[in-house]
Amino acid sequence: MFYIKFYPFLILFLYSCLGFSQDNFSLFSEPSVALNYGASNRYKGHFSFKGREYLYNESQFFLKQRQLEINHFSTWSFPRGQNISVGVLFRNRSWFEASSNEVRLTGQFGTKSMLNHLRIGHRFRFETRFFDTITILRLRHRFAIDFALNGEKLDIGEAYLIATTEFLWSLSPEAPLVDNRTGVYLGWYKTIQMKLQIGLEHQLNGLNQQLTHSLYVLPMVIFNL
């Protein structure tokens, strides 16, 4: 059952990525560690620590650190699967390349519902991104589905799959920018306190301008307190 459900998603995703020319293509690794904690049934906090490394860029393979970031979200849940969140992020690039650091403030509204054994989610975000010389406003909408690969309910020791697609609209003093991100993530619910997850995310940047695309390899460890 695991292979029947997982491989069609993986094959379709890789085919869509490889269908693009290698011009204007970059490959990144983005490992992360996340910590979730719940102060009550209604409130949850989330910290994450991420790095990003070049694996392929400008038609050559190499390994080079690009950035580090720390992120926090506070989330309040409501009946019927709704929640609101506020978040703050700091991203450091100046240590690794001639680029601006970023401070980001985020407001978020999310909904979750069940369709048979599929969990369906919508996430709406409004972001204000502060750079050294510019401020960018960005609107985001993500659609996601996830499900257990070993039955209708996810139990300890079992695997799960998440598939997402997201559109982003950036507003700045320059021309607006439209992006798309499509991802597939395979996870293992190892213990009550820990999940392991590996994902691939394909990003199309500048759909309304000069198009570039990149592929991210996303290993993650998630701790729950």
Residue 35 pLDDT greater than 50, yes or no? yes
**Banded model confidence at residue 22, pLDDT cuts 50, 70, 90:** low
Q: Which domains does the chain have, with CATH numbers?
A: 2-224 (2.40.128)
> How do residues 66-105 score in pLDDT, each as one tens digit?
999 999 999 999 988 899 999 999 999 999 999 999 999 9
CB 102 within 8 A of CB 88: no
- Residue 15's pLDDT is 53
Q: In which residue are the tokens 């502060």 written?
A: 130
Task: Report, as an integer, the average pLDDT of 157-179.
Answer: 92
22 or 147, which is more confident = 147
Say which residues have a Cβ less than 8 Å from residue 149's Cβ, sequence separation at least 6.
Answer: 1, 2, 5, 6, 158, 159, 160, 161
CB 34 within 8 A of CB 194: no
CB 108 within 8 A of CB 124: yes
Task: Report, as an integer, the average pLDDT of 154-172.
Answer: 93
Report the alpha-carbon distance of residue 131 to residue 50 in Å, rounded.
19
User: pTM score, two decimals?
Assistant: 0.88
- Residue 3's pLDDT is 44
